[in-house]
Amino acid sequence: MNEIELKYGCNPNQKPSRVYMKEGKQLPIEILNGKPGYINLLDAFNGWQLVKELKKATGLPAATSFKHVSPAGAAVGLPLTEVERKIYWVDDMGELSPLANAYARARGADRMSSFGDFISLSDVCDVATAKLIKREVSDGVIAPGYEPEALDILAAKKKGNYCVIKIDESYTPAAVETKDVFGVTFEQGRNELVIDDALFANVVTKNKAMPEQAKIDLAIAMITLKYTQSNSVCYAKGGQAIGIGAGQQSRIHCTRLAGQKADNWFLRQSPKVLNLPFKDGIGRADRDNTIDVYMSDDYMDVLADGIWENFFTEKPEVFTREEKRAWLDKMQDVALGSDAFFPFGDNIERASKSGVKYIAQPGGSIRDDNVIETCDKYDMVMCFTGIRLFHH
Q: Work out the burial of residue 370: count CB atoms within 10 Å of its CB; fewer than 13 is exposed, 13-18 middle, 19 or more buried.
A: middle
Q: Is 67 a catalytic residue?
A: yes
Burial label, 63 (beta-carbon count in 10 A; 0-12, 13-18, 19+): buried
DSSP state letter for 306: T
3-class DSSP assignment, residue 206: coil
The answer to whether residue 392 is catalytic is: yes
* Under 8 Å between Cβ of 229 and 210: no
* Residue 379, helix vs strand vs coil: coil
Task: Verify cis geometry, omega within 30 degrees of 0, for the bond prior to 202.
Answer: no
Which of 33, 46, 231, 264 does the annotation list as catalytic?
A: 231
User: Could you confirm whether 179 is annotated as catalytic?
Assistant: no
* Contact between 334 and 361 (Cβ < 8 Å): no
CA distance 392 to 381: 29
Annotated catalytic residue within 67, 215, 226, 237: 67
Q: At what angle do helices 127-135 and 148-155 cross, to 10 degrees?
A: 10
Query: Backbone phi, then psi, for 235, in 5-degree steps?
Result: -95, 140
β-pairing, 138-143 vs 117-121, is: parallel
Q: Quote the strand ranges of 182-338, DSSP E.
A: 184-189, 232-237, 240-246, 334-338
Crossing angle between the packed helical segments 127-135 and 98-108, to the nearest 10 degrees = 20
Q: 253 catalytic, yes or no?
A: no
Specify the 3-state DSSP secondary structure of 274. Answer: helix
Candidate list 52, 68, 86, 253, residue with the active-site label: 68
Q: Are strands 62-67 and 356-361 parallel, antiparallel or unpaired?
A: unpaired
Where in the sequence numbering do the catalytic residues fall? Answer: 67-68, 231, 392
